Amino acid sequence: MPPPGQPAPGKSIGYGMLIASFTFGLIALTFYFDGMLDDQSNPNSRPPSTESDSGIREVVLERNRQGHYIASGEINGTAVVFLLDTGATDVAIPEPVARKAGLQSGFASQAATANGVVTVYSTLVKELIIGNILLQDVEASITPSMGGETILLGMSALKQVEFTQRGSSLTLRQLPGSND
């Protein structure tokens, strides 16, 4: 029997195991819910892609909880996240993302955005990929005033594909030879 005021042998080990189990459970729940939030924000981290016998490539995107079409992809081999924006004339790229992708700033111009008139710099994206759709030599703008790392996928890219919305899905379709 232990002296008064001291825990029984093994009881402190039990407390340690309880604390370790509780900590492990919290960490597991954090990873689980973090993954759920990522899927809700970008349900298209790996969008389903198909290619028909005739060479038509299709990518089907699901709308996120906010009603936007967000998709993971690449520009010049750099992993990025796109927000499809049919109201944007060009592909708009935040400056830090442009640097990571090795994009060169061209001439400066003014662009009217939802946040007012901003200075942008022309650039050319050699390769833009969403699923199995590959677009080449896409005109874009580097936008220093744009926060975050999400690229607005505007009409300079979207004009090269057909797109159809049904319900909460948006299908992008690239016809053979449409980007040669």
pLDDT digits (tens, 9 = 90+) for 53-101: 999 999 999 999 899 999 999 999 999 999 999 889 999 999 999 999 9
pLDDT digits (tens, 9 = 90+) for 106-134: 999 998 887 789 999 999 999 999 999 99
| C-alpha distance from residue 31 to each of 34, 36, 67, 87, 148 (Å) | 5, 9, 25, 35, 23
Residue 86 · residue 159 · CB < 8 Å: no
- Domain range annotation of the chain: 49-174
- For 160-174, write each residue's pLDDT tens digit: 999 999 999 999 999
The architecture CATH gives domain 49-174: Beta Barrel (2.40)
